[in-house]
Chains A and B, each alone.
Chain A
Amino acid sequence: MNPELLRKSLKLTVAAFITAAIAIYFERIEFVWYPLLAVVIVVDDDDEKTVAAARGRILGTITGGLVTFLVHTVLDGWIGVLVSILLMVPVLRMLGWQSGLSTAALVSILFLMIPSHAALNWNYVFNRALDTTVGCAVALVVGLWMWPRNRLTLLARSEADLRGRFADQLSAYRAWCMGQAARPRPLAPAPITAALERMDSWLQLERRGPHRRQLQQLRWPQRLQLWSRWYLCWLQWERLLQELGPGPVLLQSLEALQTPPRRERARSDAAALILCWHQLALQSESPLAVLAVAAELEPLLAYRRSLALLPPLP
């Protein structure tokens, strides 16, 4: 079972339980579905989205309630809903609350189309906004306080995933060099670029959060920068590699990239390897293609060494 999915499910269970219990305790059972719907909508996969969803829900309920209240004095039924939605759009945009549009429209439909809600007055609007706020508050407390998303763990997991992807690709190239498999297709850039972007956004969020010190201790800013540079070089290297066939120097280079560098001899080993490429270029019919691969290999080896020097992740 995916632990992240289990965490999300437990979070929703606890938030729904607390919200329903509060509604019963304060004898607001008649409209208990209102805060519960807020919980279902607001408790999100990403904690950072939970705040945005709660904001949209509360502001949408208030705007929807106010606009519908004004419209219902003149119009009713589906025409009233249509006019309310049309009026809400520019109001929400002017206030910068566009994310609340669907909630505001929902409020309008609930107020104007459901007969039992026909007794629309200020008291009703205030109470439903209060119900929503309670649901959102519980969702936020449960999501951000009781089960905060541990972005350090997510960062570590993403890094392990990146390592795994590159290690698998290097193994595939080695198998190709040894004549055991066909040439592998280059790694698709989309998932790696997206992972690096995601990791960067987590890093920025954590820099303002309580784990700042740990983030620095584990050298996450440098780590991520190294991974970004490594990937840029890798992308070019793999593209350049398409011009070459398999060979012993390439096999040696793949092994150097895959195995952890020996600290005391890492630089000299890398220099010796690059010299082998130079020799190969002088003998090759397409020396530029060989030199190009060597050119991108050099920084790759350097980033590999730097990554190996970083403190291990817990």
Chain B
Amino acid sequence: MSPAPQTKWRLWSHSEIRLAVTAGLALGFTTATGLPFGYYAALAVLAAMGQTYGSSLELGRQRVLGTLLGAALLLLFCRGLAGIPMPLAIALALGLLRLLGGLLRLQVGYKVGGMVLVMGWLVHNTELTSWLPLRLGWTVFGILISLICLRLFWPSSAVQAAWQGWSELFWPLAEALDEPARPAAAIGQLRRRLMGQRAALVAIRDELGGAGTRHPMLKLLAEFDETSSRLISLLQVRPFSPAAAQLHAAEAALLAAFGERLRLWVTLLQPVGARGARGMPAAPPTPFVAPQTWRLLDQQLSSGQLLHVPLDLGGLKRDAARLQLCRQAVAAFERVELHWRQDQGILGTPA
């Protein structure tokens, strides 16, 4: 079983063909309408068509807000600063635009505003009343057509990308759990993948209509995050003391069981990570059960038997932290799968 299909080298990827065809068709349509400045629709397609529907929503929002901000400053300064030399006037307007864009938290939108300002000031200053509404209209049209194409042609959603992304994190994590003595670089790579998944949450929230954290998908993703974080941390904490052979064996069995379970999760996530799939991934058919050796040890620990063994407190203390963290990881696994099964009933399995 492989974690993810290997990507073959292609002359064009689906997303590139989609981008080129959408921009081309947008241009074709705007040309056919006979209205001027239709190329701004294609420029909006190029700028707003992100990798997923969710990321495009945010890019589109920023582009519209940036265009409005640029237009407002253009109207204000193009005539207001007419008395001072153009290089100084346009530079001041651009500086103010950057400042306002920053205050309004427009991460890329201020650049669009800058383009509106520059083009309106230097090229279209005699026709601002017609150019500005047309530019805004074509921009909105370009964004809408991008979003429609992202839904229609090789649909690409942030939610699907997230399922795929998590399965690409779980697979190497399972391998690391099989062989916990991993170099720091490999663990760093796992942590960066986890951070990548966290960064993708913004687009997912946008795609789910600004849903709060109570949305079942977001809840499941948050629990994936917590479980992965715990497992990555387990790879980094100090191992059991060499004398504790029983603990070593039980822990190795537990980590192997975690790895096995993560591989099962990958097989459940991959169908919903595929293009065109919908809904929540199917929950694991049976609940997670820790291996027998671990459960026996856990029972001993819970009944306090281990403390009657003549161990020095310092040595026991060293192992106690790891034991507790392993117990918490078991609880996290059980929790995530329980909620997964409960939420599956709400949103249904993949179509």
Task: List chain A positions with a Cβ less than 8 A from chain B.
Answer: 2, 5-6, 8-10, 12-14, 16-17, 20-21, 24, 32-33, 36-37, 40-41, 77-79, 81-82, 85-86, 89-90, 102, 105-106, 109-110, 113-114, 189-190, 193-194, 197, 232, 235-236, 239-240, 242-243, 278, 281-282, 287-289, 291-296
Contacts and interface: CB of A to CB of B under 8 A. Distances in A.
A235 B321 CA distance: 12
B195 A106 contact: no
Main secondary structure of the interface of A (DSSP, over half): helix
Interface string B305-345: 01100000100111011011100100000000000000000
Contact of A240 (B25, B313, B325): B325
Given A13-B98, A85-B19, A239-B325, 16 more contacts: A13-B94, A24-B87, A33-B119, A33-B123, A40-B94, A41-B114, A79-B28, A85-B20, A89-B16, A109-B23, A109-B42, A114-B39, A193-B191, A232-B233, A235-B233, A291-B321
A124 B38 CA distance: 23
B76 to A, nearest CB: 16
Nearest to A92: B16
Contacts, number: 174
* Most B CB within 10 A of own CB, among A2, A20, A41: A20
B23 A105 contact: yes
Given A197-B195, A232-B236, A10 B46 contact: no
Contacts of A287: 304, 307, 320
Contacts of A110: 39
B171 to A, nearest CB: 21
Contacts of A105: 23, 46
A240 to B, nearest CB: 6
Contact of B46 (A106, A189, A235, A242): A106
* Most A CB within 10 A of own CB, among B19, B96, B225, B321: B321
Interface in B109-154: 111, 114-115, 118-119, 122-123
Nearest to B230: A239
A84 to B, nearest CB: 9
Contacts of A36: 90, 118, 122
Contact of B12 (A12, A13, A86, A114): A86
* Most B CB within 10 A of own CB, among A5, A110, A243: A5
B102 A8 contact: yes
A194 B195 contact: yes
A190 B9 CA distance: 34
B11 interface: yes
